[in-house]
Amino acid sequence: MAQKSSKLLTQLFLINGSLMALFIILFIVLVAFAEQELEQISLQHWIQAEAQQYEQDYLNYGIADSYPNRYQFDIYWQGLANRPQAPQWLQAFTVPGFYEVYVGTEDKHLLVRPDPSGQGVYYLVYKEGADDYLDTFEYKLHLFVALLGVVVLLMMLLYVHLTLSKVARPLKAVLQKIKQMAPDAPDFNVDAQYQELRQIEDALLNSKRQIADFFRRERDFSRFSAHEIRTPLMVLKGSAQILERLGQNDQRSLNAQRRIEKSCDEIALLTETFLLLGKQSIEAEAFSDCHVNPIVQTQIQVIRELFPGEILAYDLQEKESLRVAAPESFFLVLVRNLLKNAFSYSSGTVRIRIDQQGICVVNPCQADSAKLLRENRSYGYGLEIVERICQSLDWQFFYQQRPDEFYAEVVFQPLKIEADNQIAGGTH
């Protein structure tokens, strides 16, 4: 059963709402605590001021009738026979200090001080209702806190709205770019404001390009097949016409049959190559151990047969004996197209070098041959196929049109090269 998904903005709203509720609770607790502390400080300050005044008068005038404010405070003594004695509930407080105690349902605030006569202690107690003088202040404080809480709540709601808007707009932009994932749609720009969303857009763009590459490989297969298979098909057609007119024992009939067999082999090779080239990844079973030097020598002879009656001059320099891991059809088509393009457009001796890095083919050309280049690629589809094969095998392919020659080089992966021994080169 698929797990039910929830909207991101809903989750963000719940998280921010929970934080707002927690903040409001903490705010109320803080205000209540501050109110309680302020009340205690105020009550303590007043009663201490009255006690200090009483003690100062006693020191100045001795036993006097100057008691603390009789309308607000009651005063009791403990340890002095000629003074009003403390009631029973007060006698439990013998250590000087400020106290709050409940007598029945009423809370009492009192101060315990040593008597200025040096005998016993006296108690200064707020009269009933005298310690409620802060009620008006508390009412105003509550009103202010309530108004402040409403203002803070509105500000936090505005903050949540702005925060969600900041997140929602970029997410909507990403959703719009998802609609542009079609292979034929133009690439979108990675311009997200936030780094995380930029990474998502970059991943989407890479996926879009991979999808587009997949469809391009499919189109390339058809295009390359139509281009490369056209020649052997024409040979097959011409040879078949000759066979219709000649007997089986005629030498020309036998030659035509051989050409048909070779063309069929070439069609099979090209078909296998383009099928592999159309795959996103090549299975390990398709790789084989390819001996570079004999394949190059064999393909030179194959190319020479394509130009009957012409003298193809070439200089083969075999610096190393190489073996590479690659699909055999890939490597045959790669070498064949390198050599075919070089001999097709060469105006002199084609130089072929096999060294520790790979294969290098250089052919002299006419000064006006630069017009054969199409959009900085190479001559025709041949070297384009070479480039695609190198991309599939993670090999490097370099080519350059120089004033009087064309240079092409394939560099194999270092782990796929085995150098056996040096071989002297020669001119053919």
The letter for the amino acid at 3 is Q
Q: Where are the domains of the chain?
A: 8-138, 195-277, 285-427
Residue 425 is predicted with a pLDDT of 43
Q: Please give the Cα distance from 161 to 156 (Å, whole number).
A: 8
The CATH label, of 1.20.1250, 1.10.287, 1.20.120, 1.10.1060, for the domain at 195-277 is: 1.10.287
pLDDT for the residue 4:
57
Cβ neighbours around 126 below 10 Å, total: 22
Give the chain's length.
Answer: 428
Q: What CATH topology corresponds to 285-427?
A: Heat Shock Protein 90 (3.30.565)
According to the model, what pLDDT value does residue 250 have? 66
pLDDT value of residue 369: 55
Q: Tell me, what amino acid is at 312?
A: L
Is there a shared CATH topology between the 195-277 domain and the 285-427 domain? no
How far apart CA 338 and CA 383 sit, in angstroms, is: 7
Cβ neighbours for 213, distance < 8 A, ≥ 6 positions apart: 280
Question: pLDDT per position in the chain (428 positions), as tens?
Answer: 445 556 766 777 788 778 878 888 887 888 778 777 777 888 888 888 888 888 888 887 766 566 787 788 888 888 776 777 888 888 888 888 988 888 777 778 888 988 887 788 888 888 887 777 777 777 777 788 788 878 888 888 888 788 778 777 887 888 888 888 877 778 778 877 778 888 888 888 888 888 888 777 777 776 676 567 767 767 776 776 776 666 666 677 677 777 777 777 777 787 778 777 777 778 888 888 899 999 999 999 888 888 877 778 899 999 888 889 999 999 999 999 999 888 888 888 999 999 988 999 998 886 555 555 544 344 557 888 899 899 888 899 998 888 888 899 999 875 444 444 444 344 55
Residue 269 CA to residue 298 CA, distance in Å, equals 15
Residues 6+ away with beta carbon under 8 Å from 254: none
Q: Is 330 within 8 Å of 276 (Cβ atoms)?
A: yes
Q: Beta strand 314-318 with 350-354: parallel, antiparallel or unpaired?
A: parallel
**Measured between alpha carbons, how far is 190 from 207 in angstroms, rounded to an integer?**
13
Phi, psi values for residue 69, rounded to 5°:
-50, 110
pTM exceeds cut of 0.75: no
SS (H, E, C) the chain: CCCCCCCHHHHHHHHHHHHHHHHHHHHHHHHHHHHHHHHHHHHHHHHHHHHHHHHHHHHHHCCCCCCCCCCCEEEEEECCCCCCECCCCCCCCCCCEEEEEEECCEEEEEEEEECCCCCCEEEEEECCCHHHCCHHHHHHHHHHHHHHHHHHHHHHHHHHHHHHHHHHHHHHHHHHHHCCCCCCCCCCCCCCCCHHHHHHHHHHHHHHHHHHHHHHHHHHHHHHHHHHCHHHHHHHHHHHHHHHHCCCCCHHHHHHHHHHHHHHHHHHHHHHHHHHHCCCCCCHHHCEEEEHHHHHHHHHHHHHHCCCCCCCCEEEEECCCCEEEECHHHHHHHHHHHHHHHHHCCCCCEEEEECCCEEEEEEECCHHHHHHCCCCCCCCCHHHHHHHHHHHHCCEEEEEECCCEEEEEEECCHHHCCCCCCCCCEEC
The Cα 187–Cα 206 span in angstroms is 10
So what's the pLDDT on residue 2?
46
List CB contacts of 205: < 8 A, sequence separation 6 or more: 187, 188, 190
What is the pLDDT, as a whole number, of residue 119?
A: 80
